Structure 1
């Protein structure tokens, strides 16, 4: 009789322990995987274009004097929309109680590694803020070929394809009002690889030209693609809802910062229509994106 009683007590204790362990485990998802997509809007950011045009009498458009024109223009690229798609993998640790055990509040820290693609396009008008010097190869400098500020203008455009890799810290809040809906905040740092493609640079104003502008001449045509890498960081706030066991959906706002980058496009190559040039160096100012994201997660 005593043996049977001890066996029943042990079984009850074991069942209670397993139930308690399962309840404890539910305060943490452990390992999880997510996939997400959304949209973004960029800020207006700076862009520059600089290089040298080699004006020669034996080269189109057949100038009367051999000289080098040092081009240095800058301007602003307009705000544009962007698309985002990516995935992350993370681990959420056990809940840390906030306040008394009866408060119903808890904090669940997590670490995430994520990668996503951001695609957009940019365009803007550039002009020379300083006098551009036309330096003769023979004879004294006269300033005849100089372009005073705001005389030399370009309209530039290109596609932006960005890959972003980030390590995020996430803090999810358990509230007394729901065991299925969890608000969270987080942030992360990492790197962005940015590729500019289909670059197009049209000269829209130059008083040294007979027409005052150039139609159909892409100054990047020697190589219309360029790429660079830079630091990236983000902050985010969102809410996650558990649909069924292991499966959740989430929606969040992110503010993404990508540091300034430098690029080199190809030279202008139009043997019978345009003077030969050097490669074109460009500086793209830091980019900031306001983003809206929706995704789905699976906890293992």
Structure 2
């Protein structure tokens, strides 16, 4: 007599248990791949996957912190093709990643630009005191940094961020007054993908590292983002407003293209 297959399947596990056997374990569930690692510039870089049904091609960008990358896959894209795409652009990725030397301890005699002027670090080692701009016996600019070596970077960044906030706040206020607009907030960030941004709600964000660039570069970025409070685009009208606020716009753009990457190497 032939029993239906469903009955055989129903009693098979119990029969195996009674016979001292065990059914084979269920295969492990496969988890979707969300990231992979590539080598760029001699370092391992994590690349996160992002699918976009509307994308027509693969695209690659740095993540918000500049420590890794994000590759966007079109609807029919595959992980293998995404990996090959990122590998082909490994040189581009290596050039734009935050350098691994960021963990190095600032040392006495190192040079750090402040408002476009190179300053020699004078690390005093004193337990007390604040970071300060000064000059040596020959009148050359010096940046005095007290504290133990392990605290130098934090103290130096805190000082530069304070300068950046003061300079950006002044520049933003001047340009906003010209256009009769008022930003809702000014925030400092440390990204490698963009120097500034403006939100629809009126918030402005800037890289604090702009304080290391010449003042006309910082002024241009402030004007650029303030102009977005009037024109949230990069139309001809936007650039007309931006150039009116910052006459050295083209010079600043050229400087950032040629020298901007160096601002991420220090401190």
TM-score, normalised on structure 2? 0.24
Return the index of the structure with the highest Cα Rg: 1
Greater RCO, 1 or 2 (C-alpha within 8 Å, sep 6+):
1
Structure 1 or 2: larger helix share?
2
Q: Compute the TM-score of the two structures, normalised by the length of structure 1.
A: 0.22
